Chains A and B, each alone.
Chain A
Amino acid sequence: MDLFFKLGWYFKSQWRRYAAAVTMLIGVDLLEMSIPWITGRIIDHVVDDTLSPELLWRYVLALCGIGVAVYVMRYLWRVLLFYSSFHLAEIMRRRLYDHFTRMSPSFYREHRTGDLMARATNDISALEMTAGEGVLSGIDGLLTGLLVVAIMASMISWELTLLALLPFPFMAWYFMRIGERLHVGFRDAQERFSDLNDRVQESVSGIRMVRAFGLEQKEDRDFLQVADRAAEANMRVAATDSLYDPAIFITVGSSFLLCIGAGAFLIERDQLTLGQLTSFTMYLGFLIWPMFAYGWLLNILERGSAAWERIDALLRTPSPVADQGVLHGIANSSIQIDVDSFQYSGTDTPVLHDVHLQIPAGSLLGVVGATGAGKSTLISLLLRHEEGAQSHICVGGYPVQQYTLAALHAGIALVPQDPFLFTATIAENIALGRPGASLEEIRAVAALAAIDQDILRFPQGYDTLVGERGITLSGGQKQRIAIARALLLDAPILILDDALSAVDVATERSILGHLQSARAGRTTLVLCHRLSAVEEADKIVVLSHGTVTERGTHAVLLALGGWYARMFEYQQLERVVEAGH
């Protein structure tokens, strides 16, 4: 019930629809219940021989009218009520998405994609159920129950009503118990099913070992064991589920028996008519739904509450990075980095310490070092994906916090390590940051990234669909599209975060050559593992275990004879071996 209050804001905003839907439901219930009454009246007239053709026609036409009215009202309450529940789902989905767009990468590190997806799909469905079926079973279940009992007691016989109702509390109690068992059983079945999934996953992934050791039969046996456990759990659910029908059947049957027996007694004493007895048994049928509705409501509310908690918790998570800057554009492309120490939240080993770098506007800086040396963290700080009290980054002379996030991002174009492509055409992917760019502009940057010719060779050229459902591109092609995408922004600062690793050395050289002329006067940061990408840089820094260990030009660093020089020698040799010499 608590959940209905938590969703109060929504019910308030939709109160007119809900009120109309409830009015319709009441109307439907009242009209529906007049049908047994009319049937009873006709029978009584027949038995008493007082039926006239006019009267008969009046009743029959009334029945038809009621039938049509009920039909219309049933249509209306469905549309009204489920409009509201679908609408709630729609609003929540959009809110979540909007929230997602404002969360920084550290948020995505903490929440797995599957988990976020589950909230945006399953949990929203559960909320929707609350606002639709939940309201229906709560209000209509109660309403129908009260109405039926009231009509039976006041219009026919309260003694008979009491008698006929005797079995129903048992049914309600039984339904609750079945409901609970079903709930527990269902959860168990789902767990067994996920065991089955894991088991199959293991077997299929380990197929080479299965083959090499001839384990097929053992695998079959193990699989059947897990599959049988899943089937047993499922069977228990099905068995519990099969209890509903006999329970309804027995309850209604015994109620019928009671009321027909007692009814005959009352008829004999002239306290009841045959028609009334017939309508009475028809009313009994209306009582099944309220008994069922209660258990259903509890189930919906339980699921809905859990879903609401999860969604609400997500929506309440503030973005770890506050967007409170006032500067709307970056003045110049110089960068100053002063990191005394930085660690990710929840860890205590610093990823970066004592990193102090001055990058003049228009220069090319190379940052090299082994995986895990802290190169990408540096970029995260610059882009404000991460923040730390002991790190100060300035762009154009102002701390990055003083810019609006939009301005900061507009000033910096990034080619990320993972060249993620969206399910869209190549042209659309390149034009990610400038959706209005012309094909000429797109082709121009693609040429700079040495990918134009590759794209033209695809069957649909720039209109070729890529991404998860599109064609598969090689790692190098993806990287070059990502470079073109960043170049199209023509931002004052360009960052290549290990963005050439899958591109061969010759192509790398030609792209770097293009960049030098295209980006004259602007700042470029090249982070890489392969040293050939930074040979031409104005300055190269070597990061090791989170701090700068060597700095200088290519020539200076070679002469220094440190890590850079050794790595350079190693990579030369590696190239020789890779060529097979």
Chain B
Amino acid sequence: MKLDTELPRGINGATLRRLLRYSLAWPRLLWQGAGLLLLATLGQVLGPVLVKVFIDDYIAIGQYPSRDLMLLGVAYAALYALSAWAGYQNAMRFNQIAFSVIRTIRAQVFGAVMRKPLSYFDHRPVGSLVSRITNDTEAIKELFVQVMSSFVQNLTLIIAIFAVMAWLDLRLMLLCGLILPTMVVVMYHYQRLSAPRYHHARSVLSRINATLNESIQGMRLIQVFNQQERYNGSFRALSQELFRARMRNLRLDALMLRPLPDLLRTLTLAALLLYFGTQSFNGAVEVGVIYAFVNYLSRITQPIVEMTQRLSLLQQAVVAGERVFEILDDPGEAPVNAQPRAMQGAVRFERVSFSYDGSHRVLENIDFSVPPGGFLAIVGHTGSGKSTLISLLLRFYAPDAGRILLDGLDLAGLEQESLRSGIGVVMQDPFISAGSVRDNITLGLPMTDAEVETAARQARLHDHVMTLPQGYDTVLGERGSRLSTGQRQLLSLARTLARRPRILILDEATANIDSHTEALIQQALQTLRGSTTLICVAHRLSTVMAADTILVLHQGRIMQQGSHHALMSQDGLYRHMHELQRQRSRVEEGYAGLPAGA
């Protein structure tokens, strides 16, 4: 399903090192893991040595002193038990490190995304950001769970096996050691040959998925244009190409991957036995040694094969790491260092201009002011720049020209916390979480029940909450499904008022709600009037008629400015908009009221 599965052919060493460095934050786990690993490996390689002792010193001679044998048996059992335990514990330490690292990385990247300037989200689809935080970190997890532990364990095992072999018989060890460079050469060539082939197969697969996805979405068109045969044909060709590509990979794998180490092992075994047999012509040999070597030989190839099979996981993890670090390294918003201060609520825009892309102006020379406790409304068509103006006031973006002043101070120099506690906003489509009414009002802030209730009363929500089964503790369900759209908006107003803002912004807050709720909101605004600065952006003119001043925006400019009565007395945009809304309701009314089948 994922289309961006294409991987580069190399591995970025710097990214890999940076990823691995995360594990250094848990030195105790690392040391414990390393110790346990040594213990486990020791058990694995010493077992055959004990058997060798048993064969050479007892069986071969035919003497069985029971005390020695008991001791040997107990030692063997203890060794295996210890090794199994240490192996499991070691794996668990590595798992713990892995999940701790992933927790850290996830928290970092999530935190970084949450603190990016809003412009960062303008050109990045939500899906791809989500994928960075979840899928990519999941891929990095494999680096620690599968790749790192496998490499460390297998390398240790191989080294330990060869060490014991050398201790038993240096020349035989060297003979067996030939298998290593051979495997390395084979694996090197395998990587060289397989990388482009796998790359090709993956890109065919992602083409198939893309075609499938597109065909399903465009099937109606394909049918209406009678192109089923053609699309079937090209899909068949793609599907067969995938089949051929996978068969090519399979043949390569079958030639070099699994059967080959086994062949090498059998050949080494033959050489070992030949050496051993020849030696026996010249004098006595220790059968136990050969037993041990035969036993070790069967354990060497598996770790090598396992490591090669994890290489692609390693590659994916590093690519994912690159994408995650890209987010982490991209600078977020620089914090403003200033004294926190209480706000009065005076807002002033001085010749503010703004554009998202640097060329197309969305706001042009906006100039107005609102005294503390005043009521300003902003109206205009879609695309007139209303919401952008609010975004600037909330400091989501910085103006290209001009200044925005709060209580006479430049917005850009204000401390973040006092800005947030000073300005409250109610948006068009509020997000309601699945928690209780109270949770949705406090949003994690410590608040007394009385404060919660006061806010709900102010927002005209209290009466409704009282009708709910558990009052303020009623759980609202997925996305607040227990509430109507209008009630959700009142809840959103309550949560904002609970923070006692000096400036209250309603950003299209009445766009989707019924007229009853709109009336409730208007009542609420009336009581706040004079004590809180109100800035209300609306498409619906009925919401704003009571405002002291109404700004009429068109294509980023202020076309008209004044009270409702003043504006209605002019022959301008405001009056036409009013007329249009009246007309609209007439059309809708008449439309619905027409007799069926007339």
**Chain A residues with a Cβ under 8 A of chain B:** 35, 38-39, 42-43, 45-47, 49, 51, 53, 56-57, 59-61, 63-64, 66-68, 70-71, 74-75, 78-79, 82-83, 86-87, 89-90, 93-94, 97-98, 100-105, 108, 113-114, 116-118, 120-121, 193, 196-197, 200-216, 218-221, 223-224, 227-228, 231, 234-235, 238-239, 242-243, 245-246, 249-250, 253-254, 256-257, 260-261, 264, 267-268, 274, 278, 281-282, 285, 353-354, 370, 383, 385, 405-406, 409-410, 412, 414, 416, 420, 422-423, 432-433, 435, 467-469, 485, 489, 544-545, 547-550, 562-563, 566-567, 569-570, 573-574, 576-578, 580-581
For B287, the chain A residues whose CB sits under 8 A away are 43, 46-47, 274, 278
User: Of A63, A74, A114, A200, which one neighbours B130 at CB under 8 angstroms?
Assistant: A200
- How far, in angstroms, from A414 to B54 measured CA to CA in the complex? 87
Pairs across A and B, CB under 8 Å, 20 listed: A46-B277, A51-B281, A60-B273, A63-B273, A66-B266, A78-B259, A79-B254, A100-B215, A121-B209, A197-B134, A202-B431, A212-B424, A216-B115, A228-B103, A281-B291, A433-B226, A544-B594, A563-B587, A563-B594, A570-B584
Indicate which residue in B81, B276, B280, B586 contacts A566 across the interface (CB closer than 8 Å): B586
- Residues in B with CB closer than 8 Å to A274 are 55, 59-60, 287
Tell me which of B95, B129, B220, B583 contacts A108 (CB under 8 A): B220
Q: When chains A and B are docked, how far (Å) is the Cα of A566 from the Cα of B584? A: 9
A250, B425: Cβ atoms under 8 Å?
A: no
- How far, in Å, is A342 (CB) from chain B's closest CB? 15
Q: How far is the CB of A355 from chain B (nearest CB, A)?
A: 10
**In the bound complex, do residue A566 and residue B583 qualify as a contact, i.e. CB atoms below 8 Å apart?**
yes
Please determine whether A406 and B573 come into contact, CB atoms closer than 8 angstroms.
Answer: no
Assess whether B235 is in contact with A94, with CB atoms less than 8 Å apart.
yes
Beta-carbon contact of A63 and B591 below 8 Å? no
User: Cα distance A438–B278 when bound, in Å?
Assistant: 81
Contact (Cβ within 8 A) B576 A108 = no
Which residues from chain A contact B270 at a C-beta distance below 8 Å?
A: 60-61, 63-64, 67
- Please, which residues of chain A bring their CB within 8 A of the CB of B269? 35, 39, 63
Whether A268 pairs with B62 at a CB distance below 8 angstroms is: yes
Decide: A238 and B216 in contact? CB cutoff 8 A.
no
Q: A282 to B298, Cβ gap below 8 A?
A: yes
* Alpha-carbon gap, A511 to B225, bound state (A): 22
Closest Cβ of chain A: how far from B134's Cβ, in Å? 5
Stretch among B10-18, B190-198, B238-246, B450-458 lining the A interface: B238-246
Residues in B with CB closer than 8 Å to A205 are: 126
Check A435/B230 contact, CB under 8 A, given A108-B220, A256-B47, A420-B221.
yes
| Additional A-B contacts beyond A206-B431, A218-B444, A420-B221 (13; CB < 8 A) | A43-B287, A63-B267, A79-B247, A90-B243, A108-B216, A117-B209, A215-B443, A257-B73, A274-B287, A468-B210, A547-B597, A563-B590, A578-B381
Residue contact B591 to A563, C-beta cutoff 8 Å: yes
In the complex the two chains form, what is the Cα distance from A467 to B210 in whole Å? 11
Cβ–Cβ contact B118 & A90, under 8 A: no
Whether the Cβ atoms of A354 and B219 lie closer than 8 Å is no
In the docked arrangement, what's the CA distance between A564 and B87, Å?
81
Which of A35, A53, A234, A433 contacts B281, CB < 8 Å? A53
Residues 231-280 of B contacting A (Cβ, < 8 Å)? 231-232, 235-236, 239-240, 242-243, 246-247, 250-251, 253-255, 258-260, 262-263, 266-267, 269-271, 273-274, 276-278, 280
Decide yes or no: A101 and B239 within 8 Å by CB, A67-B270, A211-B396 being known contacts: no
Is B555 engaged at the interface, CB distance under 8 Å to the other chain?
Answer: yes
By a CB distance below 8 angstroms, the chain B residues around A53 are: 277-278, 281
CB distance from B414 to the nearest CB of A (A): 13
B71: chain A residues within 8 A (beta carbon): none
Which size bracket describes the interface of B in this complex?
35 or more
Decide yes or no whether B325 CB sits under 8 A from chain A: no
Do A74 and B114 have beta carbons less than 8 Å apart? Answer: no
On whether the beta carbons of B594 and A121 are closer than 8 Å, the reply is no
Q: How long is the Cα–Cα vector from A249 to B177 in the complex, in angstroms?
A: 25
CB–CB A423/B210 < 8 A: yes
Known A86-B250, A100-B219; contact A223-B298, beta-carbon cutoff 8 A = no
CB distance from B94 to the nearest CB of A (A): 9
Say whether A234 contacts B223, CB under 8 Å: no
CB distance from B323 to the nearest CB of A (A): 15
Closest B residue by C-beta to A114:
B1
Binding stretch for chain A, among B104-112, B363-371, B542-550: B104-112
Query: Which residues from 286 to 337 on chain B have a C-beta closer than 8 Å to any C-beta of chain A?
Result: 287, 290-291, 294-295, 298
